């Protein structure tokens, strides 16, 4: 597979075209950012760890019958993925109150949410990813009603699969965000990534944070903690 010109550069990943029009290369960088890019650092091995972690998680989801963008690992930092027409919406599930939900609603961090809370956000850095609802998505043509329902259903299926997986590793899946796209056959497919950068994970016994909040809050040992998360799931890095 030949890596060609850069297609898109995000905060921590770069997407490259390939010699196959239906395939892209997702390159995970060591860049780490928070607060809309106000805090940025390079963390050694982070790109490699997230690339391999993402491949592991996506493989587990594929085994559970959830279509994902990931095809294969190409190198420490590169994965081959299907080309998708990405929907500019983030699907968020919250199992436990944390982060922006605590600030918005004044609830206590750590409150278990039953049932889990589902939220949509527009993926737009300039607007700071505002919260939206189904009607915004359909009115502005970002997705159809059927696609909206599929994204919701798939997001909750991911929650069922991964909550159990992390629980077995002694961790709580507090919240997470997912992004979806449409493939060449018109199917809704899980895209982007699932790593500790895009979810919150707490140790079940101590409630110690095991995700990017370690970077946001200056707790240190970011990559080391990501590696510990992977180890608990059975992935040696």
Q: What residue spans define the domains of the chain?
A: 3-82, 85-221
CATH superfamily of the 85-221 domain? ATP-grasp fold, B domain (3.30.470.20)
The CATH class, in words, for 3-82 is alpha beta
- The model's pTM is 0.95
If you search the block for the tokens 């095991």, which residue do you land on? 210
Per-residue pLDDT of the chain (237 residues; tens, 9 = 90+): 899 999 999 999 999 999 999 999 999 999 998 887 678 899 999 999 999 999 999 999 999 999 999 999 999 999 999 999 999 999 999 999 999 999 999 999 999 999 999 999 999 989 999 999 999 999 999 999 999 999 999 999 999 999 999 999 999 999 999 999 999 999 999 999 999 999 999 999 999 999 999 999 999 999 999 999 999 999 999
- Three-state secondary-structure class, residue 71: strand
Which of 90, 98, 186, 206 is CA-nearest to residue 146? 186
230: cis peptide before it, omega within 30°? no
């Amino acid at each position: 597979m030949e890596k060609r010109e850069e297609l898109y550069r995000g905060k921590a990943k770069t997407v490259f075209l390939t010699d196959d029009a239906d395939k892209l290369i997702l390159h995970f960088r060591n860049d780490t950012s928070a607060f809309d890019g106000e805090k940025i650092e390079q963390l050694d091995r982070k790109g490699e760890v997230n690339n391999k972690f993402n491949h592991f998680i996506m493989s587990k989801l594929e085994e559970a019958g959830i279509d994902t963008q990931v095809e294969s690992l190409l190198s420490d930092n590169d994965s081959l993925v299907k080309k998708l027409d990405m929907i500019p919406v983030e699907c968020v599930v919250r199992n436990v109150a944390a982060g922006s939900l605590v600030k918005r609603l004044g609830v206590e961090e750590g409150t278990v949410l039953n049932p889990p809370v589902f939220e949509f956000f527009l993926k737009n850095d300039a607007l700071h990813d505002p919260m939206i609802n189904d009607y915004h998505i359909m009115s502005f043509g970002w997705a159809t009603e059927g696609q909206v329902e599929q994204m919701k259903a798939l997001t909750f299926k991911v929650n069922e699969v991964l909550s159990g997986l992390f629980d077995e590793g002694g961790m709580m899946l507090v919240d997470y965000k997912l992004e979806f796209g449409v493939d060449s056959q018109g199917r809704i497919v899980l895209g982007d990534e699932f790593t500790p950068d895009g979810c919150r994970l707490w140790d079940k016994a101590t409630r110690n944070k095991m995700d990017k909040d370690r970077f946001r809050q200056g707790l240190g040992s970011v990559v080391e903690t990501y590696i510990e998360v992977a180890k608990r799931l059975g992935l040696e890095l």
